[in-house]
Amino acid sequence: MLRTILTLSAFAAGLLASNAMASPMADTAPRVVRAANDGGILVAQDGNLDIYYDARGNRVIVDAETGKVIAIQPPQTRLDRRVLRRERLRNLGPVEEDDPYYLDPEDTARFRRRQLEDEGRIIVPPADEYDPYGDNSMDAFPEAPRDDGYGNDYPEAAQPVRPRTIERQPLNEASIEPVEPTVPNEQAALPPDTAPPPDTGGKAAVDPSLSLGARQDVAELQVLLDRAGASPGVIDGRFGSNVGKALAAYNEITGSNLKSTDAVGIQAALAQSGGDAFASYTITPEDAAGPYVASIPEDYSQKAQLDRMGYTSVPEALAERFHMDETYLKKLNPDANFNRPGTIIKVANFGRLVATPVARIIADKANKQVRAYDAAGKLVAAYPATIGSSDTPSPSGTHAVSRVALDPNYTYNPNINFKQGENDRILTIPPGPNGPVGSVWIALDKPTYGIHGTPDPSKIGKTESHGCVRLTNWDARELAKIVTPGVIVEFVD
């Protein structure tokens, strides 16, 4: 028994001595941990690692056996940052993002914007920041040449590699020639707002987007009348006396019996005479370039100081080109920037002008209408008109056309004509569509009297004149091209 105890004691002492000798060797032995050539980490254990992320997003690799840090990897990708955020939320619960600059730049920008909004240092813009009339940047419009007398005082803007030069010309008689809009064969090619109204069982449909009493079905009727030579004046979507007179003239010209309430008949007549009443038109650089004048003064002495009685805006010029009321044109295109080339707008598709030569003209004072007949006595055109006034009545009886002038100037003579304001001397007012006689003068054999255009087309047939016969500029121009000197003009009461 004693021998067994001694033997076990000796064996235990040997084990202790063996451990004491092995410990220094293990502590001093080099650890087999090194950075791999490919950027990875090699450890002695078989993948027994713990991975942590510190507050700066560094990836910390710890030996699970010894608890020692093996490597620290800084964040290299957005994936690492996102892992950090998920790790913090999982281990610590919701954590306030006290330092957003360690996040990705997009998150940082959004965080800073929210901070500034909360502090009231910036104003949040509305949901729709597009202002069709608010683009005043230098590169919003094409550069205009400087050799036509209309200076450009804007600072120099950055020029494209190959700038397009726009040749600005005065708005002479060619400027209001009808530019026929393209009417596609397929409805799908038109903008959504040009699609025909839904089937209403023959009843007239009203466009709810139009205000002030304008109706789309009335505008379509006005376009139809205009195509046949029975002018309603301005196309404005309103049914008034001018439309009623034009409808009667339309029936006489075409031999039909169309009524304003016959929606089906109106649509059928439109389809036969040129298609949809409205079509799309793309504003050109020439449209935007002008030239335009800032405003037209009322006083004749101030008018005489201008170079030209031109248009004041792109909408005014385009409204006249397409026989439309300017306000109605804007109502049809509420989001359009008329000053920007390339803008697509909705316009009246009025068709071709009357080309049949005229042999006789009747100026109907009571009906406020001018009717033109061919050599066979057939009515070929009719126009609403302003004919004289009680103070300055128009001529009576029969007269004749003596000459025709397009884009004329106007000579104001208070000794012969009316007196305007305090002007008591002869003045010459330059030509232009906004001049006193518009863009056309058809002189009669009675001095100082004639048929002419107007700067206010929406007032035709609703106001008085100084004795002459006043038409819209486009109606006066159409008539000027189908009359010749010697054509009889008969004034009837």
Distance CA 223, CA 213 (A): 17
Assess whether 466 carries a catalytic annotation.
no
Judge contact between 181 and 280, C-beta under 8 A. yes
Q: How does strand 59-63 pair with strand 49-53? A: antiparallel
Nearest-Å Rg of the Cα atoms of the chain is 42
Return the half-sphere exposure (C-beta side, CA atoms, 13 A cut-off) of residue 436: 24
Specify the 3-state DSSP secondary structure of 59. strand
Amino acid type, 399: H
Look up residue 447 and give its two tokens: 């001095």
Closest of 393, 408, 489 to residue 444, by C-alpha:
489
Judge contact between 49 and 61, C-beta under 8 A. yes
Contacts of 314 (CB under 8 A, 6+ apart): 283, 287, 288, 290, 292, 338, 339
Assess whether 452 carries a catalytic annotation.
yes
Neighbours of 296 (CB within 10 A): 16
Judge contact between 215 and 238, C-beta under 8 A. yes
Return the half-sphere exposure (C-beta side, CA atoms, 13 A cut-off) of residue 429: 26
Neighbours of 99 (CB within 10 A): 10
Cα 8 versus chain centre, distance = 105
Cβ density class 19-39: b for 16+ within 10 Å, e for less: eeeeeeeeeeeeeeeeeeeee
Judge contact between 279 and 349, C-beta under 8 A. yes
Judge contact between 81 and 107, C-beta under 8 A. no
Distance CA 200, CA 339 (A): 37
Specify the 3-state DSSP secondary structure of 287. helix
Closest of 379, 487, 380, 480 to residue 176, by C-alpha:
480
Amino acid type, 441: W
Q: Which of 323, 399, 466, 468 is catalytic?
A: 468
- Reported in sequence order, the residue ranges of 385-439 that DSSP labels E, i.e. its strands, are 386-387, 397-406, 410-412, 427-429
Closest of 473, 438, 193, 483 to residue 321, by C-alpha:
473
Neighbours of 181 (CB within 10 A): 19
Q: Which of 323, 399, 452, 466 is catalytic?
A: 452
Active site residues: 452, 468
